[in-house]
Amino acid sequence: MNKYSYQRVSVIVTTKNEEDVIGTLLKSIKKQTYPSIETLIVDNHSSDNTIKIAKKYKVECFTFGPERSAQRNFGAKKSRGKYLLFLDADMELNPRVVESCVEVAKKGNFNGVAIPEQSVALNFWGRVKAFERSFYNEKGDPITDAARFFAKNVFVKVGGYDETITGPEDWDLPDTIREKGYRIGRSQEKIYHHEQEISLTDLFKKKFYYGLHAHQYLVKHKIALVSPRTIYFLRPLFYKNWTKLIYHPLLSLAMTYMLFVETLGGGLGYILGRLRKK
């Protein structure tokens, strides 16, 4: 029996019409080497078989909305673990992810743990997105790393996810935790992120939607509008790994165009969000 087995980890998965992917994630949770895990599904009124599939894995299922932050906070309130791990339905875990997070938290006295993600692509733009994320995940990046694993007592103390922020909430909570004087470490195990067949239009719409709430996040953490956090092309890791860009010219050119489209979508969303506030 693992020496950390008495410290339960609550895995909280937010879903909405995820019947195509939820089984893969739940199988990977069942295969974890860590022996003390409870899994909670917080579903936002799915109209497909998401809940029916999830119940086959004997996990707890709840219905709650309207946004991901509210779903995650609801799951945290229902959880019984000492640690919380928040996942999206289109993910798949390396078998040692949970065990590694507990070890990192315990040994380093960390209150949160970031987990590297490796994209699994289905089409060309999915491969381009995977190429972009590979820059962040090889060695870690303080600008883009966002913790998913937290000590529950710290999560509660800082108020959990800010339900007024949608999109940047993955950064907002770890930023808040650091600003309160807590520490965040990094696991070496991987989460596999199964990208759907994404298009440039999908990416534009996603960043536009996230941009609508970006002002609240930037003001809250005193982040400049023009900064590496907001502008992809200002992130040093791309230039530090310039040889990788040269070795993959097609992916590099496509990534540049993709990042331009995403920046444009986020920028327009930001402008509209500011106009709505006024």
List pLDDT tens digits, range 106-121.
Answer: 999 999 999 998 888 8
Which residue reads 């239009």 in tokens? Answer: 201
Which residue reads 């995977």 in tokens? Answer: 130
Closest C-alpha to 18, from 55, 56, 49: 49
> Could you tell me which residues come within 8 angstroms of residue 270 by beta carbon, excluding any fewer than 6 positions away?
211, 212, 214, 215, 225
pLDDT at 1: 42
> Could you tell me which residues come within 8 angstroms of residue 169 by beta carbon, excluding any fewer than 6 positions away?
68, 69, 161, 162
> Could you tell me which residues come within 8 angstroms of residue 257 by beta carbon, excluding any fewer than 6 positions away?
none
pLDDT at 3: 53
pLDDT at 204: 96
pLDDT along the chain (278 residues), means of 10: 70 96 96 96 96 95 93 97 96 96 94 91 91 82 86 96 89 94 93 88 94 91 90 90 94 97 96 86
pLDDT at 167: 82
16, 44 in Cβ contact below 8 A? Answer: yes
pLDDT at 138: 67
162, 169 in Cβ contact below 8 A? Answer: yes
* Residue-wise burial string across 108-121, b where 16 or more C-beta atoms lie within 10 A, e elsewhere: eebbbbbbbbebbb
List pLDDT tens digits, range 33-67.
Answer: 999 999 999 999 999 999 999 999 999 999 998 88
pTM over 0.85: yes
**Domains, the chain, ordered by start:** 9-198 (3.90.550.10)
115 by DSSP, 3-state: which? Answer: coil
In sequence order, the β-bridge partners of residue 185 are 113
In sequence order, the β-bridge partners of residue 113 are 149, 185
> Could you tell me which residues come within 8 angstroms of residue 236 by beta carbon, excluding any fewer than 6 positions away?
143, 228
Total residues found in the chain within this entry: 278
